[in-house]
Amino acid sequence: MSGKADSGKLYHLQCTGIAKATADAHSTPKDITLFGSCFCPFVQRVWAALEHLGIDYKYYEVDPYKKPADLLEVSPKGLVPGLRLENYSPPRAVNESTVILEFLEDVAATTTKRSLLPPVTEPYARALIRLQADHVNRTLVPTFYRYIQAQDEEKQIQAGKDFVEAINGLVKLFQRADKESGSNVGLWREGGTLSLADVMAGPWLFRSTNVLVHYRGFAVPEGPQFRAYLGRLLNYPAFKRTCSAEELYIDSYERYAHNRPNTSQVANAINSGTTLP
């Protein structure tokens, strides 16, 4: 167990730093309202995608643990993120981060003409990106939570190894795409632009540099390729604009680090060995 005692800190309710400036810049009504929470990595996926794709939106901060009625209208489980589509009467909704990302990709295809994927004329390159994204959801995300929630030292050591292996698996998929695709394969390649897989993995890789370092003494994997990739990702403007100051994440993830009861639906799923909600 980490030597850091549980101080009882709760999750934050408002963005800080660069993310606050971004939220403030998107506080007026638009055709799309993003229901978000400042600490949530699933929200950050969608938020970074909106920024990259150039789709205008309103950012609406909610407390998903109090499940306000307007959140339940767009996300029946009361989970963030959710989108409310204001240009319908009455408004319609889309929830689940991966579904929202596909929706935004479709919206951008007919509006801003920006994308998180290679051109449709390169189906194999697009498939390689989707394989990366699938690995993130199936492996990287669950191992992150198992690691931060593990309480005894032996389980923490094993979970840490599993998380590193998940990162290594992603790196291998990046390397494969870099070798086999002539198209933009995301930020793994210097000079690339944000990909679907980058958006999918970014929030947890980011939290590995602050939350996991603070609570588990995590050592971010070495290697010039991965370190260069991580630097490009965390400093990519569309992603960086969605990042709060480090303190917000350290405070908000203390409950995960001590595996407090009913921390979240995600935490409960990890503890029970069931799939993530």
Domain identity same for 95 and 139: no
Q: Do residues 122 and 217 touch, judged by C-beta distance below 8 A?
A: no
- pLDDT digits over 204-213, tens only? 999 999 999 9
Q: Do residues 140 and 166 touch, judged by C-beta distance below 8 A?
A: yes
Number of structural domains the chain divides into: 2
**What is the full DSSP assignment across 122-148?**
-HHHHHHHHHHHHHIIIIIHHHHHHHH
Could you tell me the two tokens for 113?
């003409």
State which amino acid sits at residue 195: S
Q: Do residues 126 and 117 touch, judged by C-beta distance below 8 A?
A: yes
Whole-structure pTM value: 0.96
Domain edge (last residue) among 83, 110, 137? 110
Question: What confidence score (pLDDT) does residue 3 get?
Answer: 58
Domain identity same for 87 and 142: no
Domain identity same for 151 and 217: yes
Domain containing 58 — which CATH number? 3.40.30.10
- pLDDT digits over 140-174, tens only? 999 999 999 999 999 999 999 999 999 999 999 99
Domain identity same for 80 and 209: no
Q: Do residues 239 and 233 touch, judged by C-beta distance below 8 A?
A: yes
Domain identity same for 260 and 168: yes
Q: Do residues 46 and 103 touch, judged by C-beta distance below 8 A?
A: no
Distance between CA atoms of residues 123 and 121, nearest Å: 6
Confidence tier at 40 by pLDDT (50, 70, 90): very high
Residue range of the domain that includes 195: 123-272
Q: Do residues 40 and 11 touch, judged by C-beta distance below 8 A?
A: no
Residues shown for the chain? 277
- Name which residue leads in pLDDT, 21 or 181: 21
Q: What is the DSSP letter of 187?
A: G
Domain identity same for 169 and 250: yes
Domain identity same for 105 and 31: yes
pLDDT at residue 134 above 80?
A: yes
- pLDDT digits over 87-107, tens only? 999 999 999 999 999 999 999
Could you tell me the two tokens for 135?
């690995």
- pLDDT digits over 216-257, tens only? 999 999 999 999 999 999 999 999 999 999 999 999 999 999
Domain identity same for 104 and 127: no
Greatest distance between any 2 Cα atoms in the chain: 55
Q: Find the range with the poorest average confidence among 1-5, 70-74, 133-137, 145-149.
A: 1-5
Domain identity same for 69 and 137: no
